[in-house]
Chain A
């Protein structure tokens, strides 16, 4: 089944692992959870030798252990979980993994946009059926959230703060009363949430202030803030993990030289430090410089060298795609990159040599092309 999908949801992709974990799980499981909280943690963070398992469980989300623990515990409690953080910090991925591990279904997702209406959260009607048979449970189209309530599983709400306040507030009654009433129907007009239902929402901290959450809704969510990964070691692991997955998906046989990975991580670390010390918005790149962005850069470079290059990843290509992905505003971003290239990379290429020289050249050309 995985082969037929461009991107399989986590519960499909790791089905076998989840089955195995379920088979050995003897811990107490809250509500209708498929795994105990400790196993959920194990699934997300991977196994260690000290766990004493017969097989290795790969780490799927990289970040502080306590975030995952807090997230799992929140889902076992009465409140919804709101993952908040900069774009590209792995909020949605964590939400997907948690939903997959807890309820084996991570696809009950509502995507919050400016156009999201209350119908998307509660239910809507199949108009032709209503005309033919009148309003009934059959002619009702339940939203993913309502489905999650009926099944007692985890529902997801992506980008909560992108949807308008009235839509957000529809969640309040769902999270506190745990039922949705359908006034259009005369009987059977309340959908009660089954045990195990909870909501994982994600919100982008860069969007703060667009549609601020009401305090009533805030109270019903536990916030877990996911920071940008700045630890070089775990960042390298994330990038390697996601890129390997990507190479497998594209059936690309290409080696990722560790020195280039180092260069990529180092340059992102430099640019982040520069952004942190910038005085104004003009002084920093528009990009959040998240780990996802790094993966994007690497992906771009790999695809480029696979299809247009000689099937080896070169420093020049990497530099080109880095400049291409980060230079979003002209001239501000280009000016920053130009400064970085000549102020930091050039001395470094003189000092360290190696791939840095190619990186310097490639970046220069890319900047020149864009300018």
Chain B
């Protein structure tokens, strides 16, 4: 009976070609994943360098009666010590003893190394009893060989980078023993496997939603953004980007405001002691790119509960205090909520940061979902643009860009919706429009308020002139309310600015305009790469240009209409769609010309990045929609699925760089 039931269900299921395709695909991708992981197993980075050795000069041979004693501080947990021994010319005899002690003098591990086995290759010594915590330690090196001629020496390096000193028979030396500290675990392997598995699950889910359940695109958008976003939360450690920590301090500052904690006397942000420790140590990492060391740092620093909640002055000022920035509370709102909730729950620093990033991801995913739902044209464009690696990186990082992207997409969707409405918009829709306008105007110095030029494509019969005027006024009012003091303040530094390279843009518009044009020509590849994720913002993580190009191509395909079906934009509409793009380019270059003038040359205005144009990017693709070049068949879902596949390839590409030797 049961067997018959299963048989009938299976036969029904197999009549569905999409389901069969899914099963085949799932099996193939699972096999590929297993194959990839089993092949990569030996090549995945398994160690993080806690202290870098720099072997410079060999010491005198260490014979019996001489003891080298090196104190040092580890800035992370470690379970391996690397030393460089120096064999003498004649055959080595006897043994060299290395012993590691805690600062209080308890022996941790003792190693005996036969001198005859010593070569110039580094020696990696494994600690007994697992990893040791960060802290102060002492290492002694001695020998039982009485003859210096047959004893081995050890390599030294200049300068006490270990916050310790070397003593030979009690006498302080100028050099230190060259010590490398390592943490060796399977973290890299677990990260790679976990992220790739998650990405494959996202891929399978996308297939199920698009082809089997045929879920509404806006719901699919939320699921995909959340799924891939979760992967990006782990692909990029919290402190990846250069200015992440400035944003962290700023979010912390706003969170303090909510909790009623004032700044200290010198205007710096008060922080919990444990959070400050994490901040200081994490920020001191020399490498700002995602790498196994950063993952280890995060892993090392991770604790569910905050160990020390005492408030201390951080010595850091936030962007709010600096007063010349584009960082309002609105732009950081999801992150402020996350961090504050985390602090109220007494979570540790890393869980708090993760919570802040996660809540931002949820908020932006919902905003994009609604944007996809609202727009009658270009739903797939909005979805695919929000799935590009740079967009995902920005909405999962500590940054003020994510919320601005969300509001911009929402505003564009509403304007396009109103453009093709036949009747007057409802009060609810208008209020939603006002909210998007206010939100966008409150982010990034209000620079994306130029999107309000889209009001011109909306017929007056749908949105009255008064309503348009009021929306415009609200946008300007919000920008001034949040940034008026920045734009109009009587600045104390006004008289001391360095002269601009080409003079004031108002006095020399042609020269400055030419510099803008030459910058565009010179950096077009950088801008395109930055817009679609080849270059991940400030971090120097990159994905291959072929992938970026494929993303661009796929978004272009979905921006076309299917067999010329309406609605399409008129020529006048397209001219209006182009205006915000033009304004945004102008504003970006103007701001960078004035703000980063010291780095600009006559031919190149420095500092403009491709991601600045993301909020107006949907408009460029909407302009592509025409009646002449059209899709003969509706292949947009297949294109979305293909895009998700490329996204997984981008994961492979990123993780290959970060985790594989």
- A and B form one complex: no
